[in-house]
Copies of this chain bind each other. A is one copy, B any other.
Amino acid sequence: MTLSEKNYAFVMHCGEMGSRWGFNRTIGQMCGLLIITKEPMTANEIADGLSISRGNVSMGIKELQSWRLIKVQHIPGDRKEYYAPAGTIWDMANRVFEERKKREIDPTLSLLRDNIIEEAHNDDERFAQQQMQEIHDLLETVTKWSAELQRLSPEQLQSLMKLGSGIGKVLDFKDKILKKP
């Protein structure tokens, strides 16, 4: 099975973007390939399709599984493992988002917390601590918010997303309502 020119371009683009999205080129390509391929693929098909080594695919699969982006499937009477995207595009985007939060925000939040609870010993530390407090508060707000979004039902999310420029209005509205009593 060979990719059409357009599909190949998409897969290569995913590779180029891979490192920006949090993984590396090969893994980006694998992800793109599995998304645009209707049927689940074997590791060998992936290796052939992308002209990379079998070992590399094996490692890539492990990584994609750690991101919960792909799932394994089996075909009766066939010993090979078949791989396919784990869920909808939306699901996958969510996973990437979550996983990145875990890698990009949580460690910093943890360090900041540790640092903030200790007392500052001089002016430099005092100033630094104020700054860290600000970063901490910001990250915590973002964290709470994203957790909140995850908790909304898909319908509510849809509704929220479609709100667009209506957000401001709804907020004003809410303020008016809540301030009355």
Which of B6, B22, B128, B172 touches A10 (beta carbons < 8 Å)? B128
Evaluate contact between A159 and B171: CB separation under 8 angstroms: yes
Q: Is A4 an interface residue (CB 8 A)?
A: yes
Copies of chain A in the complex: 2
Residues of B within 8 A of A115 (CB): 6, 9-10
Residues of B within 8 A of A74 (CB): none
Q: With A38-B127, A104-B21, A141-B161 known to touch, is A132 a contact of B10 (CB < 8 Å)? A: yes
Residues of B within 8 A of A35 (CB): 131, 135
Number of interface residues of A (CB under 8 A): 63
Residues of B within 8 A of A141 (CB): 161
Evaluate contact between A4 and B124: CB separation under 8 angstroms: yes
Which of B144, B164, B165, B174 touches A164 (beta carbons < 8 Å)? B144
6 extra A-B contacts, CB within 8 A, seeds A7-B124, A36-B128: A4-B122, A6-B115, A10-B111, A17-B108, A90-B134, A152-B167
